[in-house]
Amino acid sequence: MASLVRLQNEIERIKEEYFTRNRIAEENRQRENEAAILIQSWFRGCQVRSYLSHLHRKATIIQKIWRGFTARAHFRQMVKAAYFIMKMNFYHEMSVRIQQRWRGYCVRKYSHNYYARKRYMEGLARKNKQIRRDLEEFSEFQRRERERMAMEREEQEKNVQAQRMHFLLSTKQCPGVFNSPFRPGPDEMELRLRRTKPLPPRNIPRDRASLLGNTSPSSPSFPGVPRAFGAKPLPPIPSKKPQGPFRGPAEVWAQRQRGLEPSLRVQTSISDLEQAQDQLRSGEWRNHTMETMFQPFSKAHQNRSYERMLHTSSSFQPVPYGTKHFREEHQENLQGKQKTASVRVPHE
């Protein structure tokens, strides 16, 4: 009971406190609610976060392991590929070397000989030089020939001029045109005039008598033909044949120039007899076969000793040693053959 009375005393206080507390709680409800929510949310958040971080950690571990696995696989792949590439490069290198050698060998053997080409080029250079030299010589030679011909022609012309102007030669009394007394020496034309022979005077009327003797007008010794010095002989002038039964100039010349015909007595030489005897003698000497002269009544032939023939006197004869035998070698040829009867020659 005491507690009950105490409690009933307390009821007011308790009610008041209840109300106060409810009022306070009501007043703080919002705030406390929010605070509780905050705390709960924060706690939940912590939970979730820890859960998440746990998950993260685990996921990270899984991923880490997985990545490592794939990366290692990939790496293996890469290593294999790199190895393969290295091998291939090596093969390529080596095959390049082989191909180089082989190509060099092929080209050198079959298609392109470097040394032959070099030799060819050197030979070509030499040949070119030689051709150039030859052509130079040739053109030099031609040039000299041309100059020489030109000079000769000039000389000829000047000589012809000198011959025709021979009358301008200076005499003792009167100096010529080219030999003026005021000059230190005579002109070259003057010297040429002195050197050349003048043209002989031309005889213009040519009668028939001289025509007949005119068989070879081109001969230089013929006096009837006046020619310039150095000029070529002129062709024969085709003269009209004289009318009438005249013989040609060659025939007449032959007749007029008939040669000597001596008689037989004159023809024979003074030593004809001796010559004839000599001829006979030499003919006999040539043709005789017997060398010994015929000497009758002389005993010269008796004193001669006998000369052996060379054929029998020399020892160099074919010796049938080993080839010819006295007795038959092959016995079968002797089958049925009788022995020859030996002939006994009685001794005297």
Examine residue 36 and tell whether it contacts another protein (CB under 8 A). Answer: no
Q: Which of 82, 125, 250, 254 binds another protein (CB under 8 A)?
A: 125
Examine residue 144 and tell whether it contacts another protein (CB under 8 A). Answer: no
Examine residue 25 and tell whether it contacts another protein (CB under 8 A). Answer: no
Q: Which of 28, 70, 142, 275 binds another protein (CB under 8 A)?
A: 142
Examine residue 271 and tell whether it contacts another protein (CB under 8 A). Answer: no
Residue of 220, 223, 215 whose CA lies nearest to 232: 220
> Whole-angstrom Cα distance, residue 168 to residue 344?
128
Q: How far does CA 249 lie from the centroid of its chain?
A: 65
Examine residue 124 and tell whether it contacts another protein (CB under 8 A). Answer: yes
The window from 96-104, 134-142, 268-276, 315-323 that contacts another protein (CB under 8 A) reads 134-142
- Angle formed by the axes of helices 114-164 and 188-195, to 10°? 80
Residue of 222, 226, 217, 170 whose CA lies nearest to 193: 170
The window from 76-84, 136-144, 152-160, 210-218 that contacts another protein (CB under 8 A) reads 136-144
Both tokens of 184, joined, read 């230190």
Count, residues near another protein per rule CB under 8 A: 16
> Whole-angstrom Cα distance, residue 14 to residue 256?
213
Q: Is 294 helix (H, G, I), strand (E, B) or coil?
A: coil
Q: Is 58 or 133 the residue whose CB approaches another protein more closely? A: 133
> Cβ of residue 124: shortest distance to another protein, in angstroms?
6
For residues 302 to 341, the per-residue mask of contacts with another protein, x marking binding by CB under 8 A and - elsewhere, is ----------------------------------------
> Whole-angstrom Cα distance, residue 2 to residue 12?
16
Q: Is 101 or 127 the residue whose CB approaches another protein more closely? A: 127
Both tokens of 138, joined, read 């040739």
Q: Which of 37, 38, 131, 334 binds another protein (CB under 8 A)?
A: 131
The window from 54-62, 115-123, 207-215, 270-278 that contacts another protein (CB under 8 A) reads 115-123
Residue of 154, 136, 134 whose CA lies nearest to 146: 154
101: phi then psi, degrees, rounded to nearest 5: -60, -45
Q: How far does CA 17 lie from the centroid of its chain?
A: 142
Examine residue 127 and tell whether it contacts another protein (CB under 8 A). Answer: yes
> Cβ of residue 143: shortest distance to another protein, in angstroms?
8
Examine residue 139 and tell whether it contacts another protein (CB under 8 A). Answer: yes
Q: Is 54 helix (H, G, I), strand (E, B) or coil?
A: helix
Q: Which of 39, 62, 121, 334 binds another protein (CB under 8 A)?
A: 121
> Whole-angstrom Cα distance, residue 74 to residue 80?
10
The number of CA neighbours under 13 Å toward the Cβ of 221 is: 0
List of residues contacting another protein (CB under 8 A): 117, 120-121, 124-125, 127-132, 135, 138-139, 142, 146
